[in-house]
């Protein structure tokens, strides 16, 4: 295809408004893009257009997206149009952009190149250690809150003791060459402000800057963008104030509302045609969101046919709710991957998980317990982190006794004190002060072995995954898992380890791999998996599904009681709006009266009323299923004699059931004893 035809093809795939936005090349442009209005398409095509028409070189383009998944998808789609040149475009999240810039200029702020990124768990571990040595006990969660407040707004709490914990926290981070998520942004800004020549380098490089999901930009992110616009004003942002749902992490949707004020010659384009959902679904979304006051006027419309009416599911308990959802899924005849179940809080996934598992419906949970949060994965990653950065105390603390090697809390404490005294890391203390602490032969030997393994791995040449394999062998991790877990669980963990090793292929350095892991988001691991998807509404942002269930539509759950008391109902309403606009064809809104871990009787969410779905006698929207089911005490649907299917072993017959274990005679593999919870058996009718 010739060059001009390709451009013609791109432009012909857009509607008038989208094309108008795309062809606006110079100056500040705000695209107000309602849910499902094709904003990603506009953003992608615009960047492809800039390159294809030689308006900009790839390396002169910066695009900031919300997740790494979105970044990768965008890069791929641009590649499809302009080819390999797409590789030199900077497409990043704010955090990964910060990390990249900081690594390119690490020395200026006094870090080493191999700084690590501490996650929530590391932060907590560190804070606990600090309090332990000071003899104080504060709530770790609120300490993290104070740290974030300080980093974002410079606000220090009154209490001197809390101040000193925070100071020590930051001191430790610096000394140990670590940054937390906020540091990635704050330090980048600091770099720009303290070293104008560094800012100039980037501000001159990036001639066209794009920001996706602009409504969730925080003040510090906004400042970063403003700095980069030092020499020009080619800023193209896409967003929708109705979908601003991250205020708790600093997002401020007034930034998008103030765009024209901040950039006086701004051009604004509104995209209101929706290509995702049916008219019924959009009408419902519009009815609810119009109750918000802080927004521009906007009404989504579509050419889609009317479609199926959204339904309300009303049940007594969460068990029945789950059972009803299972029935709807099974009756539909659709593939499981068509369904998504969305909820306000992670805790609501429990009852569903059980029901799905019992009925042999494949599912996967996004977030909550993520792959990268499993014990075995975190253990091995901690080893890699320590190998990469010997100053990573939190990594060392995690794995010093995993597997147990005869080094206990007393020994560790002794090295902590030496590290503190000498201003070095714990690992360095072990290496340099072995004699002072370990006078017992056994402890000394154990420490020497440990250090030797870490040093050997660090000095090793060759592939990452081969190094990891050798590491696992030398620390005896497989044996450790097998001796401490029951067979089903151990099998599971070993599979995860294998998956982890496989995920290392394709990375050329430990640095690159660790960074991609620490900045990974929920959505990043979503793609390859089939089955029903379960996730929070926050995690579902930017995604779409043929059939969506939104559960937990009860007062104090959704809207959440903390948002009610903090007078943050509008954000909850936006969250509801995001949830329902994920649905392409069918939408089910579910509430019930009683939930596990909740003693009180639950009232239906106000959003159901705003959607016009309550208080109608003989309501055509409502499916009433007040079925008080028999308690399934066995907790599984299997009977002796049933024919079942197992993912690996194939078809077999249930021979006996004993509590949570079943014996199954498989055609190929013979008799196996399986733990029901893990076996994921499917009934074959």
Where along the sequence are the contacts to DNA (CB under 7 A)?
67-68, 93-96, 120, 124-125, 128, 181, 246, 248-249, 344-347, 350, 367, 369, 373-375, 378, 401, 404-411, 443, 484, 519, 521-523, 536, 538-539, 560, 562-563, 566, 597, 677
- For DNA, the closer of residues 177 and 539 by Cβ is 539
Cβ neighbour number for residue 576 with a 10 Å cutoff: 28
* Among 407, 434, 395, residue whose Cα is nearest residue 514: 395
The span from the CA of 487 to the CA of 453, in Å, is 28
Q: What angle do CA 60, 65, 71 make, to 5 degrees?
A: 80
Give 17 or 493: the residue with its C-beta nearer to DNA. Answer: 493
Q: Of the two residues 375 and 624, which places its CB atom closer to DNA in the complex? A: 375
- DSSP label at residue 629: P
Q: Considering the complex, what minimum distance in angstroms separates the CB of residue 357 from DNA?
A: 10
Is the C-alpha dihedral spanning 420, 422, 424, 427 positive or negative? negative
Please confirm, yes or no, whether 212 is among the known catalytic residues.
Answer: yes
Distance of CA 473 to the CA centre of its chain: 31
Pairing of strands 29-33, 267-271: parallel
Element of type H or E holding 280: helix 279-289
Complex with DNA: residue 117 or 611, whichever CB lies closer: 117
Cβ-based burial of 40 (10 A; exposed 0-12, middle 13-18, buried ≥19): middle
Nearer to DNA, 409 or 502 (CB): 409
**Could you count the other beta carbons within 10 Å of the beta carbon of residue 661?**
14
Determine which one of 18, 93, 221, 243 is catalytic: 243
Pick 68 or 584: Cβ nearer DNA: 68
Nearer to DNA, 361 or 407 (CB): 407
Tell me the C-alpha distance between 564 and 80, whole Å. Answer: 46
Q: Sort 154 into a burial class: Cβ within 10 Å, 0-12 / 13-18 / 19+.
A: exposed
Under a CB-based contact definition with an 8 Å cutoff, are residues 401 and 408 in contact? yes
- The CB density around residue 323, as the number of other CB atoms within 10 Å, is 21
CB of 483 to DNA, least distance (A): 7
Pick between residue 10 and residue 407 the one whose CB is nearest to DNA: 407
32 or 166: whose CB is closer to DNA? Answer: 166
- Which candidate in 17, 18, 39, 338 is catalytic? 39
- Shortest Å distance, C-beta 116 to DNA: 15
If the CB atoms of residues 275 and 371 are measured against DNA, the closer one turns out to be: 371
| 487-504 helix and 477-484 helix, angle to the nearest 10 degrees | 150
Per DSSP, helices labelled H in 107-218 are: 120-134, 140-153, 160-175, 181-194, 196-205
Are 312 and 624 in contact, with CB atoms under 8 Å apart? no
List strand residue ranges (DSSP E) for 471-582, in order: 532-536, 545-550
Query: Considering only CA atoms, which of 3, 112, 52, 68 is closest in space to residue 516?
Result: 68
What is the closest distance, in whole angstroms, from the C-beta atom of residue 462 to DNA in the complex?
30
The nearer residue to DNA, 503 or 539, going by C-beta atoms, is 539
Angle of CA points 475, 476, 481, to nearest 5°: 125
Q: How far apart are CA 57 and CA 85, in angstroms?
A: 9
Does 435 sit behind a cis peptide bond, omega within 30 degrees of 0 on the bond before it? no
Spatial separation of the C-alpha atoms in residues 148 and 342, rounded to whole Å: 28
The verdict on whether 594 is a catalytic residue reads no
CA distance linking residue 306 with residue 252, whole number of Å: 35
Which candidate in 40, 482, 489, 622 is catalytic? 40
Which of 628, 580, 563 shows the shortest CA–CA distance to 312? 580
Q: Percentages helix, strand, coil for the chain, rounded to the nearest 5?
A: 50, 15, 30
Q: Which of 180, 212, 515, 554 is catalytic?
A: 212
Query: Distance from first CA to last CA of the chain, Å, rounded?
Result: 52
The C-alpha atoms of residue 580 and residue 573 are separated, in whole angstroms, by 11
Is 662 in a helix, a strand, or coil? strand
Residue 506 phi, psi (nearest 5): 95, -10
Cβ nearer to DNA, comparing 278 with 364:
364
Is position 243 annotated as part of the catalytic site? yes
Local structure of residue 659 (DSSP, 8 states): T
213 annotated active-site: yes
- DSSP state at residue 111: -
**484 carries an active-site annotation:** no
Q: In angstroms, give the least distance from the CB of 168 to DNA.
A: 18
Counting runs of H as helices and runs of E as strands, what totals does the chain give? 31, 20
Q: Closest distance between DNA and the C-beta of residue 223, in Å?
A: 15
The nearest distance, CB 452 to DNA, in angstroms, is 17
Nearer to DNA, 257 or 490 (CB): 490
**Residues present in the chain in total:** 685
Residue 345 beta carbon to DNA: minimum distance, rounded to whole angstroms? 4
Provide the annotated active-site residues.
39-40, 212-213, 243, 582
């Amino acid at each position: 295809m010739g060059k001009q035809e390709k451009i013609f093809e791109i432009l012909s795939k857009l509607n008038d408004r989208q094309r108008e936005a795309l062809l606006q090349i110079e100056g500040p442009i705000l695209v107000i893009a309602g849910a499902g209005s094709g904003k990603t398409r506009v953003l992608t095509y615009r960047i492809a257009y800039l390159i294809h028409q030689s308006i900009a070189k790839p390396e002169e383009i910066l695009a900031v997206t919300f997740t790494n998944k979105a970044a990768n998808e965008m890069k791929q789609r641009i590649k499809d149009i302009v080819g390999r040149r797409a590789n030199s475009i900077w497409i990043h999240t704010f955090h990964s952009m910060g990390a990249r810039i900081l690594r390119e200029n690490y020395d200026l702020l006094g870090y080493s190149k191999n700084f690590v990124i501490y996650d929530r768990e590391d932060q907590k571990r560190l804070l606990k250690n600090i309090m332990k040595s000071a003899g104080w006990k504060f709530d770790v969660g609120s300490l993290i809150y104070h740290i974030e407040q300080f980093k974002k707004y410079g606000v220090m709490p009154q209490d001197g003791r809390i101040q000193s914990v925070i100071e020590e926290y930051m001191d430790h981070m610096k000394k140990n060459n670590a940054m937390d998520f906020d540091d990635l942004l704050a330090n980048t800004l600091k770099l720009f402000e303290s070293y104008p020549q560094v800012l100039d380098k980037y501000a001159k490089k990036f001639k066209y800057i794009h920001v996706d999901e602009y409504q969730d930009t925080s003040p510090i992110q906004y400042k970063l963008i403003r700095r980069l616009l030092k020499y020009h004003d080619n800023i193209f942002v896409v967003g929708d104030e109705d979908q601003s749902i991250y205020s708790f992490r600093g997002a401020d949707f007034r930034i998008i509302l103030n765009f024209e004020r901040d950039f006086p010659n701004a051009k604004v384009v509104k995209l209101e045609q929706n290509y995702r959902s049916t008219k019924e679904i959009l009408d419902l979304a519009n009815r609810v969101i119009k109750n918000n006051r802080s927004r521009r006027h906007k009404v989504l419309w579509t050419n889609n046919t009317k479609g199926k009416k959204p339904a309300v599911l009303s049940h007594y308990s969460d068990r029945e709710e789950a059972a009803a959802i299972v029935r709807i899924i099974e009756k539909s005849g659709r593939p499981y991957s068509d369904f998504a179940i969305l909820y306000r809080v992670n805790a609501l996934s429990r009852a569903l998980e059980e029901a799905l598992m019992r009925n042999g419906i494949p599912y996967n949970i996004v977030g909550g317990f993520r792959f990268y949060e499993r014990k075995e994965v975190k253990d091995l990653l901690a080893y890699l982190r320590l190998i990469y950065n010997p100053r990573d105390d939190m990594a060392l603390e995690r794995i010093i006794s995993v597997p147990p090697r005869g080094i206990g809390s007393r020994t560790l404490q002794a090295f902590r004190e030496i590290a503190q005294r000498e201003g070095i890391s714990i690992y360095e203390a072990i290496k340099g002060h072995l004699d002072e602490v370990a006078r017992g032969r056994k402890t000394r030997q154990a420490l020497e072995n440990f250090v030797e393994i870490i040093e050997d791995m660090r000095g090793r040449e060759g592939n990452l995954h081969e190094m990891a394999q050798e590491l696992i062998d030398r620390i005896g991790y497989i044996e450790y898992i097998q001796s401490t877990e029951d067979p089903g669980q151990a099998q599971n963990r070993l599979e995860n380890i294998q998956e982890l090793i496989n995920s290392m292929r394709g990375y050329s350095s430990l640095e690159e791999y660790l960074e991609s892991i620490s900045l990974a988001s929920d959505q990043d691991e979503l793609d390859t998996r089939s089955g029903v998807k379960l996730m929070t509404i926050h995690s579902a942002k930017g995604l779409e599904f043929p059939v969506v269930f939104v559960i937990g539509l009860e007062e104090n759950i959704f809207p959440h009681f903390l948002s009610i008391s903090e007078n943050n109902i509008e954000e909850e309403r936006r969250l509801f709006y995001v949830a329902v606009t994920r649905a392409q064809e069918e939408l089910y809104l579910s509430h019930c009266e009683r939930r596990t871990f909740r003693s009180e009787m639950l009232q239906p969410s106000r959003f159901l009323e705003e959607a016009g779905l309550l208080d109608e006698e003989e309501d055509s929207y409502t499916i009433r299923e007040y079925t008080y089911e028999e308690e399934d005490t066995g907790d599984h649907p299997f009977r002796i004699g049933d024919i079942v299917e197992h993912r690996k072993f194939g078809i077999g017959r249930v021979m006996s059931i004993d509590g949570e274990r079943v014996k199954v005679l498989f055609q190929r593999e013979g008799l196996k004893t399986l733990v029901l919870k893990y076996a994921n058996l499917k009934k074959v009718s």
